[in-house]
A and B are shown apart, each in its own frame.
Chain A
Amino acid sequence: MTFASERYASRRDTLAFIVCLLLSITIRMTPAAWHDRVSAQLQNTLLRPLLALQGWAESVRTTRERFARVVAERDSAAVVATLADALREENAQLRAMLGLRQRLPVRHVPAEVLHQSLPTDGFTLLISAGRRQGVRVLSPVVASGGLVGVVRSVGGNTSVVVAWAHPDFRASAMTADGAVFGIAAPFGGGDPGGPLLELQGVPYREELIPGTRVYTSGLATGEGGIYPRGIPIGTILSVREELAGWARTYLVLPAVHPASISHVMVLLDTRADLTESFVPPEP
């Protein structure tokens, strides 16, 4: 290590610092479309080998997890096979354990989530599927629990997903019976596990009890709408705000926490009802 006297900032150091600072501020003020273009360029060039490495590491890790799960399922099945009466019930359980992928009635692409270290990871997610895998801008993204977000930009082998935690996210939502509608939006409250959602604009005459499940409504799907009907968004927690006699806003416990998930499905078709495709959460 060198001595301090050799290392104090010279005029050239200060100049370099100021130039980098001004460049950063200029970049921050440029339009979002330009940000997406530059991000895609960097992901497809300089960062490509590193993202390939991360994709490989993620897939090795999840493959190990899946293998362990399949072994457990096989062992369970072997035991259950000796009990014919219980076979049907166990089959149902195994199907539930196998999860979402086998159940989705629409074309989809599986992808690993390539988590990054900035504290804003979770607002957007980088996933290991892109144009070559058939992903398109505005494709809905789900996990086994429910809605994750929507694809914002697509590169060759990676895509950027705007997760529901992003301040710009909105989705048309409804209750399971389709009787009550509202707009799902992120709520940046004080939850250490991650942000919550809120269901805005619920008519005042409609009262939702805590525990009510909220799904995407699928309104205008195929005609400018993005999310197919029936993707779980979350569960009603409590009333957050009341506009007297007019509307209520409810706090919603999200079905999926974007900052913690490791793999997702990108839906390529949106004209479907997915209400039966998701495993209900355990009580």
Chain B
Amino acid sequence: MNGRNGVYRLPTVLLLLVVLHFTLRPWLGEPRPAPDFLLLALLVYAIRARPGAAAIAGFIVGLLSDALTPVAFGAGALAHTVVGYLAAWGKAIFFAENLAVNAGFFFAGTWVRDLLVLVGGGHVEGMGLVWQLLLWSPLKAASTALVGVIVLVIFRRWLAIRIAE
């Protein structure tokens, strides 16, 4: 990231994802498998940030998500904190520059977030939990991963990410 403009590039991408979350998602039909742009913003931030900063960002994103779906208030904050921290920490270890690995990173982040929210909330049990974790969450994780890869490809220069062919 070079020059003065570079300072604004990451926040611009994150802001774009936040705006897309609230404007584009309603147009994508069935909400359950629709991509989670807000979580994607957190994961993209985690790629660039230190684990501590990613954990704090995760806590804030989770708290806001809890405010929008106050079923198990705090479970979202906990889940996003863990995912943010692990994502930043995991990227530090793997520093993958392969698109497929990045897609797997977004997929895993989304699925683990859903798992933690559901377990932390304790509202879904039995077969309902199984269906959620084996059907809806993987579908959402896959769509989020797809959008994540598109974002990385489009904004790889802005995000200073080198992607191997």
B126 A190 Cβ-Cβ under 8 A: yes
Chain A proximity mask over B121-135: 1 for CB below 8 Å, otherwise 0: 101111110111001
Q: How far is the CB of A70 from chain B (nearest CB, A)?
A: 20
Residues of chain A contacted by B150 (CB below 8 angstroms): none
Q: How far is B136's CA from A17's CA once the two chains are assembled, in angstroms?
A: 29
Interface size class of A (residues with CB under 8 A): 35 or more
Q: How far is B22's CA from A53's CA once the two chains are assembled, in angstroms?
A: 6
Q: How far is B55's CA from A17's CA once the two chains are assembled, in angstroms?
A: 5
B126 A116 Cβ-Cβ under 8 A: no
A17 B66 Cβ-Cβ under 8 A: no
A14 B52 Cβ-Cβ under 8 A: yes
Residues of chain A contacted by B21 (CB below 8 angstroms): 50, 117
A7 B68 Cβ-Cβ under 8 A: no
In the complex, which residue of chain B has the Cβ closest to the Cβ of A59?
B26
A24 B78 Cβ-Cβ under 8 A: yes
Chain A proximity mask over B1-38: 1 for CB below 8 Å, otherwise 0: 00000000000000000110111111100111010111
Most buried by B among A14, A16, A58: A16
In the complex, which residue of chain B has the Cβ closest to the Cβ of A23?
B59
Contacting B52 at CB < 8 Å: which of A13, A42, A50, A56?
A: A13
A124 contacts partner chain B, Cβ-Cβ < 8 Å: yes
A3 contacts partner chain B, Cβ-Cβ < 8 Å: yes
Which secondary structure dominates chain B's binding surface? helix
B157 contacts partner chain A, Cβ-Cβ < 8 Å: no
Most buried by A among B26, B59, B127: B26
A188 B59 Cβ-Cβ under 8 A: no
A97 contacts partner chain B, Cβ-Cβ < 8 Å: no
User: Known: A46-B64, A118-B69, A124-B69. Contact between A192 and B131, CB under 8 A?
Assistant: yes
B74 contacts partner chain A, Cβ-Cβ < 8 Å: yes
B74 A126 Cβ-Cβ under 8 A: no
Residues of chain B contacted by A16 (CB below 8 angstroms): 51-53, 55-56
Residues of chain A contacted by B63 (CB below 8 angstroms): 27, 42
In the complex, which residue of chain B has the Cβ closest to the Cβ of A123?
B71
A118 B76 Cβ-Cβ under 8 A: yes
B74 A30 Cβ-Cβ under 8 A: yes
B52 A17 Cβ-Cβ under 8 A: yes
A20 B58 Cβ-Cβ under 8 A: yes
Q: How far is the CB of B89 from chain A (nearest CB, A)?
A: 5
B47 A42 Cβ-Cβ under 8 A: no
A119 B118 Cβ-Cβ under 8 A: yes
B26 A61 Cβ-Cβ under 8 A: yes
Residues of chain B contacted by A123 (CB below 8 angstroms): 69, 71, 123
Residues of chain B contacted by A188 (CB below 8 angstroms): 124-128
Contacting B81 at CB < 8 Å: which of A24, A38, A121?
A: A24
User: Known: A1-B47, A57-B27. Contact between A20 and B55, CB under 8 A?
Assistant: yes
User: Known: A1-B97, A24-B62. Contact between A120 and B72, CB under 8 A?
Assistant: yes
B74 A190 Cβ-Cβ under 8 A: no
Q: How far is B91's CA from A3's CA once the two chains are assembled, in angstroms?
A: 9
- Which residues of chain A in 1-51 are interfacial with respect to chain B, using CB atoms and an 8 Å cutoff? 1-4, 6-10, 12-17, 20-21, 23-30, 32, 35-36, 38-39, 42-43, 46-47, 50-51
A residues engaging B (CB < 8 A)? 1-4, 6-10, 12-17, 20-21, 23-30, 32, 35-36, 38-39, 42-43, 46-47, 50-51, 53-54, 56-58, 61, 114-124, 126, 153, 160, 166-167, 188-192, 195, 259-260, 262
Besides A7-B95, A120-B69, A190-B131, 11 new A-B residue pairs in contact (Cβ under 8 A), listed by A number: A2-B95, A7-B51, A7-B88, A10-B52, A15-B52, A24-B62, A24-B74, A47-B67, A50-B22, A123-B71, A126-B69
A-B contact pairs, 15 of them (CB 8 A): A4-B94, A16-B52, A20-B56, A23-B77, A27-B66, A28-B78, A39-B67, A43-B68, A50-B18, A115-B25, A118-B71, A120-B123, A123-B71, A124-B71, A188-B128
The 6 closest A-B CB pairs, nearest first, are A190-B127, A28-B74, A7-B92, A13-B52, A16-B52, A24-B78
